[in-house]
Amino acid sequence: MIAEHLKILYVSPMPPSPPLGGAQARMHGLMTNLARRHDITAICLIDEDGDVEECRRAMRSYCRDVILVPNPNGRAGLAKRMLQLRSIASRRSYEHHRFRVPALQEELDRRLEHERFDVVNLEFTYLGGLRLRPSSAGMPAPPLVLGTHEIAYDIVRQVARGGASAGRRLYAALNWRKLRRDEHAAFRAADGISACSAADQARVLAHVPAARTVVIPNAADVDFYQPRPSDPPPDGRTVVFFGLLSTFPNIDGVLFFLREIWPRVAAERPAARCRIIGARPPAPVRQLAGPRVEIAGFVEDLRPHLAAAAVLVVPLRVGGGTRLKIVEGMAMGRPIVSTTLGAEGIEAVHDRSILIADEPATFAGSVIRLLDDPVLAARLGRSARELAVERYSWPAAARRLEQFLGEIIASPHSPYRAAHHTEEADPAETAGAETGGSV
């Protein structure tokens, strides 16, 4: 029987809170909801530019214990370039080297040797090389559930095949096969794997057919992200993109929009304005700012900006998993134009809850259509909000993950279950087994 109250060890390459990016938002949404019924201990890496105390305070609001381990490899600039050069000469991927931190393994060894957990939830395949079985013979090994936010090697392979600078494509070409080998090893080592979408689940099973998998979709805090009377009404002219601008898929998508799509919209609708919202915009994005294009950077509260937008755009050409920007925009009741890949894994139907377009001309045409037709925009927004509430809320996603954790723990093949069966076996059964007799 699975205990209703679980002790969960969460291991992550970044602190989930405060949630500043999509990956953090996913972890934060799932963990805060799981913490309502279960005890969570979190051991996370944190890069040198992270605010340790802010992250610790935020996580302690729902975690029983929080351990943040500085990542000396999490530096930008020259240090990152040197690590990339080192990875070129290695059989292992850049990501393996970036997240290989001995201090993290030491913390895990201490915890797993002296404390019993019902399950370990490992976020991202990048940490797949960690030793997560206790060294103490008397401590049962908890089952391992791997949370995949994307199929990382497939994204790197997409970069290698186009849409980036020649140098970036060459480096991606050298790295993606190494990353694939690391990821497949992580898949095989896990007792269970959670994917963001059915498409990613299929990609996992194509490589590891025997894997136990579940789809835990990205979601939104539908109580936080919702239309409010205090928000400004849609202004009828502002087109908004939002997302962390330090990731290649978002950078590529913004540049694609500003260079190939926005000029078509601007030429047809002189009153239209474009606002790009997101932390850490790189120079190529900042350089495209102008009288009708605002690079807003990071904002404390997205909701007023989303509420005032006439259209939200998700012009992604590279990526995996599912996009939180879409489900958060849906929860706000806003009309969205997305590429097919941008909307992958989300059950939104074209012309009912979203508009889908892939080519610059058709994408621009869809944006113009929504600018010109506020009735259509409102209808799409209402339908999107209904879909988000029905299928893409964090409590619902966390309940499915909770169920999956229970299934993995209860599995006859679970190392945790096997250890408990041995510990709690009837003495007569044990004696019979040892002597070869029957009872």
285 and 371 fall within a common domain: yes
**Tokens describing residue 274:** 């474009």
Residue 137 pLDDT: 64
Residue 163 pLDDT: 66
147 and 206 fall within a common domain: yes
Residue 430 belongs to a domain:
no
Residue 100 belongs to a domain:
yes
Residue 413 pLDDT: 65
251 and 302 fall within a common domain: yes
Residue 414 pLDDT: 59
Residue 2 belongs to a domain:
no
Residue 30: CATH number of its domain: 3.40.50.2000
pTM listed for this prediction: 0.83
The CA distances from residue 74 to 50, 151, 157, in Å, are 10, 21, 23
**Tokens describing residue 300:** 């404390």
Residue 136 pLDDT: 66
Residue 232 belongs to a domain:
no
Picking from 179, 226, 121, the residue whose alpha carbon sits closest to that of residue 320 is: 179
Question: Would you write out the chain's pLDDT as a tens digit for each of its 439 residues?
Answer: 445 799 999 999 999 999 988 899 999 999 999 999 999 999 999 998 899 999 999 999 999 999 999 999 988 788 888 888 888 988 889 999 999 999 999 999 999 988 999 999 999 999 998 998 776 666 778 999 999 998 989 988 988 887 677 888 888 898 999 999 999 999 999 999 999 989 899 999 999 999 999 999 999 999 999 999 999 999 999 999 999 898 889 999 999 999 999 999 999 999 999 999 999 899 999 999 999 999 999 999 999 999 999 999 999 998 876 788 999 999 999 999 999 999 988 989 999 999 999 999 999 999 999 999 999 999 999 999 999 999 999 999 999 999 999 999 998 765 544 444 333 333 332 233 322 222 2
Q: Which domain holds residue 320?
A: 238-391
246 and 356 fall within a common domain: yes
Residue 363 belongs to a domain:
yes
265 and 386 fall within a common domain: yes
DSSP label at residue 261: I
318 and 360 fall within a common domain: yes
| Tally of domains in the chain | 2
57 and 91 fall within a common domain: yes
**Tokens describing residue 392:** 């893409």
199 and 246 fall within a common domain: no
Residue 432 belongs to a domain:
no
35 and 66 fall within a common domain: yes
Which ranges constitute the DSSP H helices of 190-301?
A: 198-207, 248-256, 262-268, 283-286
90 and 185 fall within a common domain: yes
Residue 439 belongs to a domain:
no
119 and 181 fall within a common domain: yes
Contacting residues for 384 by C-beta, under 8 A, at least 6 apart: 329, 330, 331, 333, 334, 335, 336, 348, 353, 354
174 and 49 fall within a common domain: yes
Residue 335 belongs to a domain:
yes
